[in-house]
């Protein structure tokens, strides 16, 4: 383990497993590898309580990515817009609580990237089938834009698009493999990003999952 869990800048920047995408934005390669089995079991338990669903965009289009949430608040989209809410609109129940495995991993990853005291109150769970895409967008529905976002990839690899602060900035393609963790904050917090494609495999049933941890309110 060459990742920096203790605030040593040199360890962070010198690690061959850490890829700096931009100022304040890092890919921690394989950071979540040892936890993948536990994380997947906890994802399955959340989904059993709050099923994955395809939200409608405010424009009325069905999103190709299936989503659900855990934590105090969850990300919701419908004809009325994007927002965070404390209840699952399907069940009218509070979102399932955030599993301890999620919270510990998100905090450790934020710290390894140099962000102390990350306390996520929302975890968005995204499931990508082979034909799912996430078009270039900014994450700006969160109240606390000073906090970073932490994302964890599981299942099939995907090609992540990393742009700049303007939609028209050129994008870089970054392959995200299972266990890779992306942490971005500071000057990169409002960078445009998306998922261009998911890589197929011999297993026709296989999917990609992504966990995104935010301090939403």
Q: Which residues bind ligand MD3 (CB under 6 A)?
A: 25, 124, 126, 134, 139, 149, 151, 182, 184, 188, 191, 193, 195, 210, 212
CB of 191 to ligand MD3, least distance (A): 4
C-alpha dihedral sign at 173, 74, 190, 30: negative
Query: Which of Fe ion, ligand MD3, none interacts with 32 (beta carbon under 5 to 8 A by kind)?
Result: none
| Kind and range of the H or E run holding 101 | helix 100-112
Rounded Cα distance between 180 and 177, Å, is 6
Our CA angle for 87, 59, 150, nearest 5°, is: 50
Structure tokens at 174: 């970054």
Query: Which of ligand MD3, Fe ion, none interacts with 151 (beta carbon under 5 to 8 A by kind)?
Result: ligand MD3
Longest Cα separation, the chain: 48
Q: Which is nearer to Fe ion, 139 or 142 (CB)?
A: 139
CB of 170 to ligand MD3, least distance (A): 15
Q: Which is nearer to ligand MD3, 110 or 191 (CB)?
A: 191
Q: In what order do the strands lie in the sheet with 193-198?
A: 134-137, 193-198, 158-162, 172-176
Q: Does the footprint of Fe ion cover residue 139 (CB under 5 A)? A: yes
Structure tokens at 5: 């869990």
Rounded Cα distance between 125 and 127, Å, is 7
Contacts with Fe ion: how many residues (CB under 5 A)? 1
Which residue's Cβ has the minimum distance to ligand MD3?
Answer: 210
Q: Which is nearer to Fe ion, 94 or 164 (CB)?
A: 164
Q: Does the footprint of Fe ion cover residue 142 (CB under 5 A)? A: no
Q: Which is nearer to ligand MD3, 8 or 81 (CB)?
A: 81
Tell me the C-alpha to C-alpha distance, in Å, between residue 164 and each of 12, 22, 94, 134, 161: 23, 9, 35, 16, 10
What residues from 109 to 138 belong to the interface with Fe ion (CB under 5 A)?
none
Query: Which of Fe ion, ligand MD3, none interacts with 126 (beta carbon under 5 to 8 A by kind)?
Result: ligand MD3
CB of 156 to ligand MD3, least distance (A): 11
CB of 58 to ligand MD3, least distance (A): 15
Q: Which is nearer to ligand MD3, 8 or 83 (CB)?
A: 83
- How many CB atoms are closer than 10 A to CB 63? 17
Rule CB under 5 A: which residues touch Fe ion?
Answer: 139
């Amino acid at each position: 383990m060459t990742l920096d869990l203790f605030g040593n800048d040199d360890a962070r920047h010198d690690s061959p497993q850490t890829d700096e995408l931009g100022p304040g934005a890092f890919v921690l390669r394989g950071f979540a590898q040892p936890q993948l089995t536990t994380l997947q079991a906890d994802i399955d338990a959340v989904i059993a309580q709050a099923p994955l669903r395809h939200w409608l965009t405010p424009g009325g289009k069905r999103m190709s990515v299936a989503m659900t949430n855990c934590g105090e608040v969850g990300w919701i989209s419908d004809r009325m817009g994007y927002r965070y809410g404390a209840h699952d609109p399907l069940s009218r129940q509070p979102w399932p609580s955030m599993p301890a495995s999620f919270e510990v991993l998100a905090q450790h990853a934020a710290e390894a990237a140099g962000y102390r005291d990350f306390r996520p109150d929302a975890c968005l769970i995204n499931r990508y089938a082979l034909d799912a895409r996430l078009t270039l967008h900014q994450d700006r529905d969160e109240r606390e834009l000073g906090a970073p976002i932490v994302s964890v990839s599981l299942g099939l690899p995907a090609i992540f698009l990393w742009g700049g602060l303007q939609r028209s900035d050129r994008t870089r393609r970054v392959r995200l493999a299972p266990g890779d963790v992306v942490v971005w904050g500071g000057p990169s917090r409002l960078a445009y990003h998306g998922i261009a494609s998911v890589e197929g495999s011999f297993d026709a049933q296989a999917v990609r999952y992504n966990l995104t941890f935010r301090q939403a309110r």
